[in-house]
Structure 1
Amino acid sequence: MTAAEDYRRVIAELDAVADDLRVRDAERATALRAQLVDLERAVADAGVRAALTRFVVDLHWEIALEALWPESWMKLRPKPGPDPRARGADLDAHDAAVSEALDTLLAAVRRRFRLPGR
């Protein structure tokens, strides 16, 4: 085998490897694009969920303040900010805890003033 033939063989092998890499890169890019779409959807869903949670918490806070308004001896404070240690994965549990706390408060206020059920 001559040096020219050996050179052509090596270049042909390198071309085949480069073509394989291009195909794998294109497949990976397609998979990453699909993954990016899913992640963008998840981020959008998280934003909607965060806005809804903020709205519900604000609504619960206002209901609690309104229920406690007649208690003139009680010092009502502004709504506390979010807990930076809270985990987003526990959001359902936190939402349930907020609702349960409001229900407990309203039940206590109804007992105190003997108001009919909500």
Structure 2
Amino acid sequence: MSEQVPAASRYKRLTELATTAAQRVRKQEQERAAELGELVTSSAQRTEEADARREQVVSDVRKRWNAAMEALWDERWMRECRFPDPDPEAEPADPDEARRAVHDAFLELRGAVEKPKRQARGVLGRRKPRDRP
């Protein structure tokens, strides 16, 4: 005959198992909470860095825009327009690459605006001094 275990002993054993399992789960949850806390902190730092880079890009683009408007000041045919809004359909780009592209476009514009002036002087040449009696 098999010996029966008293109910109190079985209850005690079951509560010990449940307590051990609960402690393991609590420890795992604490470890996961710590990991998630670190993830949130690093994400917040990356977000702040991205915001700072975005502001730098916007500032650089705005400076180039203002310089372009100054370069076009003498071009009477061209109407001045306001600073454009970002294009939501633009391809994603690295901020440094985007800043270089804006700078290169500005240099190209400035070169195009200055080129006719240089050519006009070359075509007309210098004035000859008039002979004075």
Query: How far did 1:95 drift?
Result: 2.2
**Gapped runs of 5+ residues in structure 2?**
120-133
CA deviations over 1:56-100 (Å, ceiling 9, x no partner): 011000000000110101122112101123465543333222112
Please tell me whether residue 43 in structure 1 is matched to residue 43 in structure 2. Answer: no
Q: Map 1:1-118; keep pairs closer than 5 Å.
A: 1-86=5-90, 90-114=94-118
In structure 2, the CA distance between the partners of 1:87 and 1:29, relative to structure 1 (3 Å rule), is: farther
When you count helix as a share of all residues, which structure comes out higher? 1
After TM superposition, the structure 1 stretch with the greater mean CA deviation from structure 2, 33-42 or 92-101, is 92-101
Larger radius of gyration: 2
The two structures, once aligned, show a CA RMSD in angstroms of: 1.8
TM-score (norm 2): 0.78
Query: How far did 1:40 drift?
Result: 0.9
Distance in 1 between residues matched to 2:78 and 2:31, nearest whole Å: 64
Give the aligned residue type for 2:72: L
In structure 2, the CA distance between the partners of 1:41 and 1:89, relative to structure 1 (3 Å rule), is: farther
Distance in 1 between residues matched to 2:114 and 2:60, nearest whole Å: 22
CA deviations over 1:5-46 (Å, ceiling 9, x no partner): 111111110000000011101111111111111111101101
TM-score (norm 1): 0.88
Distance in 1 between residues matched to 2:91 and 2:56, nearest whole Å: 17
Question: How many percent identity over aligned positions?
Answer: 32
